[in-house]
Amino acid sequence: MSRGSVTISTICDTVLDQDLDGSLYDLLERRFRIRVDRAEQTTSAVNLGKRLADLLAVPPRTAALHVRRIGIDAQGRIVERTDTLYRGDRYDFSATIRRARH
């Protein structure tokens, strides 16, 4: 389950008139010339309340992952914020960590 928003004042009010089936970042760059330079993402463990548990078809208090991502353009403006909930039994988080080269 995902909920996102785009900072409309940063771009324009026609973003909702666009085809939103593909990549939001591609759309922002192609149609509005806004390039998301970086994203800050936080992943947290949560226990679901009844309403969200019902939406995800699991019992209340089931563990889930909450992922919040904030997309920032090259000028430092926030252009996207997404909150996503993943069922704990259907999601793996993995990362590759490399040693810094000097």
> Lowest-confidence range among 6-10, 18-22, 32-36, 58-62?
6-10
Report the pLDDT value the prediction gives residue 68, as an integer from 0 to 100.
Answer: 93
Report the pLDDT value the prediction gives residue 11, as an integer from 0 to 100.
Answer: 55
Give pTM, 2 decimals: 0.73
Q: What is the spatial distance between Cα 58 and Cα 64, in angstroms, rounded to a whole number?
A: 10
Confidence class of residue 2 from pLDDT cuts 50, 70 and 90? Answer: low
Report the pLDDT value the prediction gives residue 40, as an integer from 0 to 100.
Answer: 95
Q: Is 86 exposed, middle or buried (0-12, 13-18, 19+ CB in 10 A)?
A: middle
Report the pLDDT value the prediction gives residue 16, as an integer from 0 to 100.
Answer: 63
Quick check: 51 and 62 in contact, CB under 8 A?
A: no
Mapped onto helix, strand or coil, the DSSP state of residue 89 is helix
Q: Where are the beta strands (DSSP E) in 1-102?
A: 2-6, 36-47, 63-73, 78-87
